[in-house]
Amino acid sequence: MKSRSSGQPAGQLSAARPVRRAEEMETDEALALLDTVEVGRVVFTRNALPAVRPVNHVVDAGDIVIRVQDDSTLAALLSAHAGTGVVVAYEADSIEPFDHLGWSVVVTGYATAVTDPHEIERYAGLLQPWVEGTTSGAIRIRPDLVTGFRLLPSSP
């Protein structure tokens, strides 16, 4: 069986020199890049195991705002931890499928329910639900840790 990525037998590594390098980025640049894409993945704990859900987002004053269905697992977790919030990670990227150049950003922080009715209404206009179901609220992720890197062409 051949590897899809290298064309070599599975488990056999190529001795070819990597064609790209990773370069870490500053927090401000990472958050600015998040604002250039609409879709990311929210990561949270479900029954002591990681759960990942794709969602659309907006970046608002340095926070990441998402909407999930009212009956979702993440909404239930937030309801159970209303005073403290829930630790989550949020990842988004833009990596070209052919040359594998691009970037990835991961935000780790606390997710809390947005409670201000005017903000909820504003986010409802900015973030349209993808699937059927009731989506009446919004969730704010306040970043505590922001990491990001660019995949760039390798130096000669």
Tokens 């206009």 appear where? 125
- Are the beta carbons of 105 and 43 closer than 8 angstroms? no
Residue 111 has pLDDT above 60, yes or no: yes
Q: How much is the average pLDDT of 137-142?
A: 94
Q: In this model, does residue 95 exceed pLDDT 70?
A: yes
How confident is the model at residue 128, as a pLDDT?
86
Could you tell me the pTM of the whole model? 0.84
Burial degree of 106 (CB within 10 A; 0-12, 13-18, 19+) = buried
CATH architecture of structural domain 20-153: Roll (2.30)
pLDDT digits (tens, 9 = 90+) for 17-73: 668 999 999 999 999 999 999 999 999 998 889 999 999 999 999 999 999 888 888
Q: Token pair of 27, please?
A: 């927090």
What average pLDDT does the chain have?
88
Distance CA 141, CA 60 (A): 10
Distance CA 117, CA 72 (A): 20
The pLDDT assigned to 146 comes to: 98
The answer to whether 106 and 40 are in contact (CB under 8 A) is no
**Residue 89: closest CA among 39, 141, 47, 54:** 141
Q: Which residues pair with 147 in a beta bridge?
A: 106
> What are the domain boundaries of the chain?
20-153
The sign of the dihedral angle between the CA atoms of 17, 152, 42, 69 is negative
How would residue 134 be classed by pLDDT, with cut points 50, 70 and 90? Answer: confident
